[in-house]
Amino acid sequence: MKRGVVVIALAACGSSSGGADAVHADPCSVQLSGALTDSQTCGTARMSWMSSSNASQFTLNLTTSSPVVQISIGFPGKPTVGQHVTTGDGGVMVTGDAGMMWDSTASGGMFDLSFTAVTSTIVSATGTSYVVDGALTATVPAASGTGASGTVMLSAMF
């Protein structure tokens, strides 16, 4: 009878012993102030880069409680450490009770997304997936026609 050795490797399980997630803040946190106040935690921040368009997409959605926070920011090129993204496709949207909405693409809105760590996790011919650390600040004015008023200030650490 032949005997063999089976090796099982666990990578990126979020432990402090190594793996891609080990160097990243988990959980992340999102703080809202101004027209809405709230504090939420979230999991590891991830993003993708597509080779066909040479564009990156950062997405973070907090949809399990109210207010709902949806972040989707697209920008050209790959994410890099030290990078600050202040313009791009998409932005930050906050939805409160009764359908009231605040949107960073409204007049007076802005965001500043920055990366302090960028680790590729999956690389393929069509693009790359990343786990990222960094911060996001956003000024999110009320969206017209939704019953919302004032401005929500968002601060996220991931």
Cis peptide before 67 (omega within 30 of 0): yes
Asked whether residue 18 is domain-assigned, the answer is no
- Look up the pTM and report it: 0.82
**Domain assignment of residue 119, given as a range:** 23-157
In tens, the pLDDT along 129-142 reads: 999 999 999 999 99
Asked whether residue 60 is domain-assigned, the answer is yes
Residues 6+ apart with CB under 8 A from 17: none
Residue type, 96: G
* pLDDT, position 4: 32
- Are the C-beta atoms of 9 and 44 separated by less than 8 Å? no
Looking at the structure of the chain, the number of domains it has is: 1
Q: How far apart are alpha carbons 144 and 102 in whole angstroms?
A: 9
Asked whether residue 96 is domain-assigned, the answer is yes
Find the mean pLDDT for residues 145-152.
Answer: 97
Q: How far apart are alpha carbons 48 and 100 in whole angstroms?
A: 30
* pLDDT, position 27: 75
- Percent with pLDDT over 70 in the chain: 84
Asked whether residue 14 is domain-assigned, the answer is no
In tens, the pLDDT along 39-73 reads: 999 988 999 999 999 999 999 999 988 999 999 99
Asked whether residue 13 is domain-assigned, the answer is no
* pLDDT, position 10: 24
Name the band, by pLDDT with cuts 50, 70 and 90, for residue 13. Answer: very low
